[in-house]
Amino acid sequence: MYRTLLTALCALLLLTSTVSAQEHKWTEREILAKFAHEPTVQQVQDKAIRYYQVHPDRILSLRRNAQLKALVPSISGEFSNSISNTYRRMDDGLYVQGLGGIAKEDEKINGDRIGFRVQASWALDRLVFNAEVLDVQSLIGILDGVVREVTTVYYIRRRLQIDMILRPPKSLATKISQRIRVEELTGLLDAMTGGYMTKSITKSKRRRRKK
C-alpha cells in the first residue's frame, strides 16, 4: 500500500515537471531577439520619408532654394534679322549712252541687318516674402503624416507577432488569419518604403543562414 502510494506520487511529480517544462516562460530579451533580423522602426521611417521624397534635409534644401530664387535674374532675349534689296536705274535724255546701253545711273544695294537684345530683371521683393516658401513648408505636413502612418502600422504588426508567440492560437483558422494579417501589414510597409521591409528581412535571413 505504502509502495503504491509512493509510486503514484512520483508519477504525479514527474507529470507536473513535464508540463512545466513545456510551458516556456518567455523573457523580454528572448521575445525581442526573435525580431533582431527585422529593421527597426527608425530605419523604416527613414526609408519611407526618402521614398516619398519628404526627408527633412530635402525640405530644408528646397526652402533655402526658394528663398534664394529671388537673387536669380529672369533673363529674356530677342533676335532679329532683316534682308533688303534696292535697285535703282535712271535714264536721262540729255545723257548720251554708250554702245552698251548703260544708263546714267544704275544702282543696286543689298542690305543685311542683324540685331539682338538681352534683358535681365530681378524680383527682389521675393526676398521678403515668397509664396513658394509656403509651398515647401506644406511638405512638413506630408512628412508628419508619413511618419505617423508608418509607425502605427509597424507597431500593430509587432504587437500581433508578439501576441502569436505569447498566446499562440489554438485553432488552425485563427492561426492562418493571424499570419495573413502579418503579411498584410508587411505589404503596407513595403508599399510605403518601396519594398524595403521585405528586402531587409530576406537579406538578414540570408546572412544568418551563412553563419
Domain span at 182: 27-68+126-210
- Sequence-separated (6 or more) residues with CB below 8 Å from residue 53: none
Q: Is 2 inside a domain boundary?
A: no
> Do 206 and 162 fall within a single domain?
yes
Tell whether 95 and 110 lie within a shared domain.
yes
Which helix (H) or strand (E) covers residue 115, if one does? strand 105-121
Does any domain span residue 52? yes
Amino acid at 203: K
59 shares its domain with 134 = yes
Per-residue pLDDT of the chain (211 residues; tens, 9 = 90+): 544 544 444 444 444 433 433 467 888 899 989 999 999 999 999 999 999 988 888 888 877 777 777 777 788 888 888 887 777 766 665 555 544 556 666 677 777 788 878 887 777 666 666 677 767 778 888 899 999 999 999 999 999 999 999 999 999 999 999 999 999 999 999 999 999 999 999 998 888 777 6
Residues 103, 144: one domain?
no
Shared domain for 46 and 137, answered yes or no, is: yes
Residue 183 domain-assigned (yes or no) = yes
Residues 36 and 99 both lie in one domain: no
Give residue 87's region: left, alpha or beta (phi > 0; psi -120 to 50).
beta
CA distance 42 to 196: 13
Residues 139 and 195 grouped into a single domain: yes
- Asked if residue 157 and residue 60 are part of one domain, the reply reads yes
In a domain, 135, yes or no: yes
SS (H, E, C) 142-177: HHHHHHHHHHHHHHHHHHHHHHHHHCCCCCHHHHHH
